[in-house]
Amino acid sequence: MHITPNGFARKTTRRWWTIVLFLLTVLVPKVGQGQVRQTSRADRDTLPAAVARRALQAYSRNDVPAYYANFDSVFVHESLGDTTKRFSGTASQVYGSLPEDFAKNKIRTELKQQIVNGPFVVLLYDFIRNGKRSPHLDIFEVRHGKIVHEWEP
């Protein structure tokens, strides 16, 4: 690089770096914000109440992958009052017939009440299958942002 007596090359280089730094400080944070917005705060919330509610909302939307995403890799599902109906496994193993059930029936839920005590969440909701409404209760144990145990009456 040839430097003239008035320092023209030095001023040009300095301006170029100033423009580059300005663009980096303005554009890079915008790109990062776009990536953060892809997952909302609600999706990252690991509080037991939020996890149980998110699972019920996914069930109501008939969104099987989103429903399964709320469960630990291995969890326990059991029916209260009947110890023979205790299953342990992945969500797809325990709820294997769920996709077919959603395909055959119009299923949704309406949350009525939620009670939280530490890692335990009780959801009282209306289960609506093909227009027929019935009250339903689920008890979840949530650890580290995932459902590890579910009890149904």
Same domain? For 56 and 101 the reply is: yes
Same domain? For 6 and 66 the reply is: no
- 120's enclosing H/E stretch is strand 120-129
12 pLDDT above the threshold of 50: yes
Q: Which residue has 């009670």 as its token pair?
A: 115
Same domain? For 19 and 78 the reply is: no
Question: Comparing C-alpha atoms, which of 66, 68, 67, 86 is closest to residue 77?
Answer: 86
Non-local CB neighbours of 106 within 8 Å, separated by 6+ positions = 129, 130, 131
Same domain? For 66 and 137 the reply is: yes
- 123's enclosing H/E stretch is strand 120-129
Least reliable range by pLDDT among 21-25, 71-75, 94-98: 21-25
Same domain? For 97 and 127 the reply is: yes
User: Contact, 138 vs 67, CB < 8 A?
Assistant: no
For the chain, give the mean pLDDT. Answer: 84
As for how many domains the chain has, the answer is 2
pLDDT confidence of residue 93 = 94
Structure tokens at 33: 């914000």
pTM of the predicted model, to two decimals?
A: 0.70
- Confidence class for position 36, pLDDT limits 50, 70, 90: very low
Same domain? For 6 and 68 the reply is: no
Same domain? For 20 and 76 the reply is: no
- Confidence class for position 83, pLDDT limits 50, 70, 90: confident
Cα–Cα distance list, 139 to 5, 58, 76, 77 (Å): 81, 17, 12, 10
Residue range of the domain that includes 25: 1-38
Same domain? For 56 and 21 the reply is: no
Query: What type of residue is 6?
Result: N
Task: Work out the percent of the chain whose per-residue pLDDT is above 90.
Answer: 64
For residues 81-104, give the mean pLDDT. 91
Same domain? For 94 and 121 the reply is: yes
**Phi, psi for 119 (deg, rounded to 5):** -85, 0
17 pLDDT above the threshold of 80: no
